[in-house]
Amino acid sequence: MNEAGAEATMLPFEEIGGAPAVRALVERFYDLMDGDDRFAALRAIHAPDLTPMRQSLVGFLTAWLGGPRDWFEINAGTCIMSAHRQLGFGAVETAQWLQAMGQALAESGIPADLASRMNDAFERMGHAMQAG
């Protein structure tokens, strides 16, 4: 198979660099949320201990990017979109989530094309998750 063919069949999970890359992205995202005042409104709607969220977002993104699907087995029946809509957050929190994730993606050495596709998908999901 030539190089272009190999790229076409590559899963986003492989393209991003597998489990260590997903973990690094999520850690950077929550570190930014936790420590940067620009994300204070977003931080305020999360529980004090972010450890379970870090774990869960790693699992969700792993499956979402085409990697192992453990998260969907552990959370069988959970719709991430409905779960978020019930949280009742608005445009400010959504914008902060997208900004923090955009920065984490930009800083994580993820291929630019993949980062851009992920940003686009998160933007669509984020706005659909918003209550108002």
Q: Would you tell me which residues interact with ligand HEM (CB under 6 A)?
A: 42, 45-47, 53, 56-57, 60, 80, 84, 87, 89, 93-94, 97, 122, 125-126, 129
Sequence letter at residue 50:
L
- By C-beta, is 80 or 114 nearer to ligand HEM? 80
Distance set, CA 95 to CA 5, 6, 69, 124 (Å): 37, 35, 28, 12
Minimum Å gap between C-beta 4 and ligand HEM is: 29
Q: Report the residue number whose CB is nearest to ligand HEM.
A: 126
- By C-beta, is 23 or 60 nearer to ligand HEM? 60
Task: Fill in the DSSP letter of residue 17.
Answer: T
DSSP assignment of 25-91:
HHHHHHHHHHH-GGGHHHHHTS-S--HHHHHHHHHHHHHHTTS--HHHHHTTT--HHHHHHHHT--H
Minimum Å gap between C-beta 42 and ligand HEM is: 6
- By C-beta, is 17 or 85 nearer to ligand HEM? 85
Minimum Å gap between C-beta 20 and ligand HEM is: 19
- By C-beta, is 104 or 129 nearer to ligand HEM? 129
User: 69: which 2 tokens?
Assistant: 């699907």
